[in-house]
Structure 1
Amino acid sequence: MNPLARLGVSTVYEASGQDGLVDAALTRVVPGSRAAGPVRTVRCGQDDNFGVHLALDRIGPGEVLVVVMPRPAPVALVGGLLAAQAKARGAAALLVDAAVRDLDELVALGLPIWARWITSRGATKSGTAELDVPVEVGGVLIAPGDQVVLDGDGVVRVPAADLASTRSAATRRADKENELLPRLVAGEATLDLMGLRRANQPLDTTAEGPA
């Protein structure tokens, strides 16, 4: 598994200076799944999925296919057959800023997939598409060479130029949290462990006034 996937969306997002979080209501199709990897992008024609077929012919092992249209719409660009091809080609995940279909089959397949909608409404195959171009999902620009991290908290983009520094910062953050966890389980307080007790001590509104 990609190290960023183990670290998770929230840790990577905080380590990146709170940058790159995809602001979209996405459904994680396969419960409990998580993934990360370099992106391959496709901008399909409106309500058309021919570009997905083209992109999957190029997908490489460990890559995340990011699928968009000019305008997000509840049209299924990916179903069971395309997802099966993606898994067979070694794709790490699919991020679909549109709809997917064949939900039961997708869950059984197990390929990590995030989508904006689930519907049976099918797409056309007109042949228009742009491959490996910068695309926007949820207000975040995702370019070829970037990486994305996907889990139950959503999706975050890590620019290619920031990958090493973000991974290092996220690892340090995760190590620190892992050190704190057993002490919290043992009953210590985050106010003490994080040095917050004096800095943000609330006023005691229950105390009596001067005698």
Structure 2
Amino acid sequence: MKGVCEELARLGVATVYEASGRRGLVDAPLVQVVPGSRAAGPARTVLCGQDDNLMVHAAMERVRPGEVLVITMPEPAPVALVGELLAVQAKARGAAGVLVDASVRDLEELRELGLPVWARWVRVRGATKTEVGKLDAPVEVGGATISPGDVVVLDADGAAVVEAGRAEEVLEAARAREEREARLRRRLEAGELSYDLHGLREVVEGGS
């Protein structure tokens, strides 16, 4: 699975999303905390209480190398569920990345740490630590259901999720798409038009 995840990360969110049949899009505005970062790995899911990060602390002992920590709460809100010290723990445990459907803080420290992190917001408002939530249960982020073990792919474009059982199938389709796009790019660089290569001229002019 490690090799599959590394290749999905290289191919990127847009290619993986299209290759998966446009399934699994995390349709949410995400801040890429560490510019240029990308990640992919099996999801380790955390459902926090509202505005509370107790379960993020509890999840740290379960994180395994290569996993993407997916942190949610019932309703997304600009409350910081992760800061520098939790990110330090995630990195020490070998996490491939962190997706926070809420806020993070300590932006400069997170960037210096270098662990790939994505979040809806960067805000300082702190979380409580009193509400017991759930670990390793299905969660929803940006309209996408993420179950434990599903592969989460993250880059500058945002995030997409691939069901665990489809990871190799989607990887094969994504590689094929990459090859097709490379051939198309060469033709576009030579001066041809996507308007013609995709048959779009017929759509526009054929109906006129």
Q: TM-score w.r.t. structure 1 length? A: 0.90
Tell me, which stretches of 5 or more residues in structure 2 are unaligned?
none
Write the distance in 2 (CA, Å) between the matches of 1:179 and 1:81: 46
Match of 2:203 among 194, 200, 205: 200
Query: Can you list the C-alpha shifts for 1:162-184, whole angstroms capped at 9, x where unaligned?
Result: 21211111110011112222332
Correspondence list, 1:112-123, <5 A: 112-123=116-127
Q: Which residue of 1 aligns with 2:91?
A: 87
Query: Can you list the C-alpha shifts for 1:41-61, whole angstroms capped at 9, x where unaligned?
Result: 010111111111111211111
Q: Which residue of 1 aligns with 2:134?
A: 130
Judging changes above 3 Å, is the alpha-carbon distance between structure 1 residues 197 and 79 closer, same or farther for their aligned structure 2 residues?
A: closer
Query: Can you list the C-alpha shifts for 1:82-117, whole angstroms capped at 9, x where unaligned?
Result: 111111211111000011000111111111111011
Percent identity between matched residues is 62
4+ residue stretches of structure 1 with deviation over 6 A?
A: none
Alpha-carbon distance, 1:190 to partner? 2.4
Alpha-carbon distance, 1:36 to partner? 0.8
62-71 or 125-134: which moved more? 125-134
Q: Which residue of 1 aligns with 2:113?
A: 109
Higher helix share: 2
Write the distance in 2 (CA, Å) between the matches of 1:44 and 1:191: 48
Alpha-carbon distance, 1:68 to partner? 0.5
Q: Which residue of 1 aligns with 2:102?
A: 98
The DSSP-based 3-state class of the residue aligned with 2:203 is coil
Correspondence list, 1:36-185, <5 A: 36-126=40-130, 128-185=132-189
Q: TM-score w.r.t. structure 2 length? A: 0.91
Q: Which residue of 2 aligns with 1:29?
A: 33
The DSSP-based 3-state class of the residue aligned with 2:202 is coil
Write the distance in 2 (CA, Å) between the matches of 1:38 and 1:104: 27
The number of residue pairs the alignment matches comes to 204
Rg larger in structure: 1
Structure 2 letter corresponding to 1:100:
V
Write the distance in 2 (CA, Å) between the matches of 1:96 and 1:106: 13
Structure 1 letter corresponding to 2:172:
S
